[in-house]
């Protein structure tokens, strides 16, 4: 046979402690109304047996799973930051997180389906790519909180993307930059708003004729490609705002390799303040999404809905803030 030891059940513990199952149940859950002596004996019996409650049975009986499903893209640096913070946010909520990763070979549909089978009570989806109607349909079955994407028919927690880019442009303009470019995120969630924020801020600073948007993307490679395009121009920009940190990392790399000094010759601003930006050797000036607030809101919203509180789907917009590091400086002239 296997080396698998049969796991002790609540009944085993009860037998060993010489009490009823109910008492053991109460003790294990830390409920009140058990004499200290009994509590003590039960604890000892449980420890001796190495008893661990079976969450499946527990949840089956109580009709709930106390599980919050999280769908995330495991290769996205920012999602990783969000998941990390979600664990913290959920810590004292009475709910556990059930992770389901989207990988190149495992799509969102699959990731979601497995969470549904686990009877998660709500879904928190990070930057989902699922079409809005499908998302809305899903939201009729269980509470769905969408993070980092704007969509109707579900609860949304997102960053004020346009405002973030405004802050970036304000910062650069304040440093004297005029030729400020934007490497965008294409069709990625939030990209349209960030483009708009950039454009509006440029106009607000009277830099309308310097508006310059280049196709980028979410990845390092896409950033690198865009940066090369920029370098080959007759009059390259003195500052670049980039869709996200990951993409900005690619941009930085190309600049440095080309011998362009950052920030002396070109300033670069990212977006997200993901762990990438904080790396000492990158030290990227960026627009920080307020991850603790966003994740706290996401968990709170999910629970509200589970409790049947919220009625209409709401969108919470969280303000980002500028974090100045080493990739921005005064314009050289």
Partner DNA sequence: TTGAAAGCGCTAACAG
Partner DNA sequence: CTGTTAGCGCTTTCAA
Question: H-type helices in 160-311, by residue range?
Answer: 161-174, 191-204, 220-231, 245-257, 275-278, 291-306
Which helix (H) or strand (E) element contains residue 132? Answer: helix 132-141
Residue 49, contacted partner among DNA, a copy of itself, none, CB below 5-8 A by kind: none
Nearer to a copy of itself, 14 or 224 (CB): 224
What is the side-by-side order of every strand in the sheet holding 267-272? 213-214, 180-183, 239-242, 267-272, 285-288, 321-323
Q: Pairing mode, if any, of strands 267-272 and 285-288? A: parallel
310 Cβ contact partners less than 8 Å away, ≥ 6 residues apart: 155, 301, 304
Phi/psi-derived region of residue 305, left when phi > 0, alpha when psi is between -120 and 50, beta in every other case: alpha
Q: Is 93 exposed, middle or buried (0-12, 13-18, 19+ CB in 10 A)?
A: middle
Minimum CB separation of residue 86 from a copy of itself in Å reads 9
Site string for a copy of itself, 99-138 (x = CB under 8 A): xxx-xxxx-------x-xxxx-x-----------------
Please pick, from the candidates 49, 74, 132, 214, the single residue that binds a copy of itself as defined by CB under 8 A.
74
Segment near a copy of itself (CB under 8 A); pick from 26-34, 55-63, 124-132, 173-181: 55-63
- In the complex, the residues that contact DNA under the rule CB under 7 A are 9-11, 18-23, 25-26, 28-29, 32-35, 37-38, 51, 53-54, 57-58, 60-63
Nearer to DNA, 49 or 214 (CB): 49
Please pick, from the candidates 31, 37, 141, 235, the single residue that binds a copy of itself as defined by CB under 8 A.
141
Residue 214 lies near a copy of itself (rule: CB under 8 A): no
Reading the block at residue 318, the tokens are: 């969280």
Residue 74, contacted partner among a copy of itself, DNA, none, CB below 5-8 A by kind: a copy of itself
- Residue from 233, 264, 266 nearest 248 by CA: 266
Minimum CB separation of residue 23 from DNA in Å reads 4
Reading the block at residue 221, the tokens are: 């490679």
Residue 62 lies near a copy of itself (rule: CB under 8 A): no
Nearer to a copy of itself, 71 or 201 (CB): 71
């Amino acid at each position: 046979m296997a080396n698998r030891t049969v796991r002790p059940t609540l009944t085993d513990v009860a037998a060993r402690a010489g009490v009823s199952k109910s008492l053991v149940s109460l003790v294990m859950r830390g409920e009140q109304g058990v004499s200290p002596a009994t509590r003590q004996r039960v604890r000892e019996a449980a420890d001796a047996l190495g008893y661990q409650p079976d969450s499946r049975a527990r949840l089956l009986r109580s009709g709930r799973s106390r599980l919050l499903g999280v769908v995330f893209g495991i290769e996205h640096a920012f999602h990783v930051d969000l998941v990390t913070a979600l664990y913290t946010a959920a810590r004292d909520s009475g709910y556990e997180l059930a992770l389901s990763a989207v990988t190149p070979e495992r799509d969102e549909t699959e990731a979601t389906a497995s969470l549904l089978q686990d009877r998660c009570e709500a879904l928190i989806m990070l930057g989902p790519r699922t079409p809005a109607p499908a998302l809305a349909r899903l939201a009729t079955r269980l509470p769905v909180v969408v993070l980092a994407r704007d969509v109707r028919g579900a609860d949304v927690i997102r960053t004020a993307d346009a405002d973030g880019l405004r802050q970036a442009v304000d910062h650069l303009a304040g440093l004297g930059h005029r030729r400020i470019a934007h490497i965008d995120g294409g069709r990625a969630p939030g990209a349209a708003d960030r483009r708009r924020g950039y454009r509006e801020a440029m106009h607000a600073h009277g830099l309308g004729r310097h508006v310059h948007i280049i196709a980028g993307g979410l990845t390092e490679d896409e950033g690198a490609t865009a940066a090369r395009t920029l370098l080959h121009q007759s009059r390259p920009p003195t500052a670049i705002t980039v869709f996200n940190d990951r993409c900005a990392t690619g941009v930085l790399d190309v600049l440095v390799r080309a011998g362009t000094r950052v920030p002396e010759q070109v300033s670069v601003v990212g977006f997200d303040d993901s762990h990438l930006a904080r790396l000492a050797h990158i030290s990227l000036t960026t627009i920080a999404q307020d991850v603790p607030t966003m994740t706290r809101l996401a968990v709170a919203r999910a629970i509200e809905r589970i409790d049947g509180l919220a009625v209409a789907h709401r969108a919470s917009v969280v303000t980002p803030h500028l974090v100045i590091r080493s990739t921005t400086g005064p314009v050289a002239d």
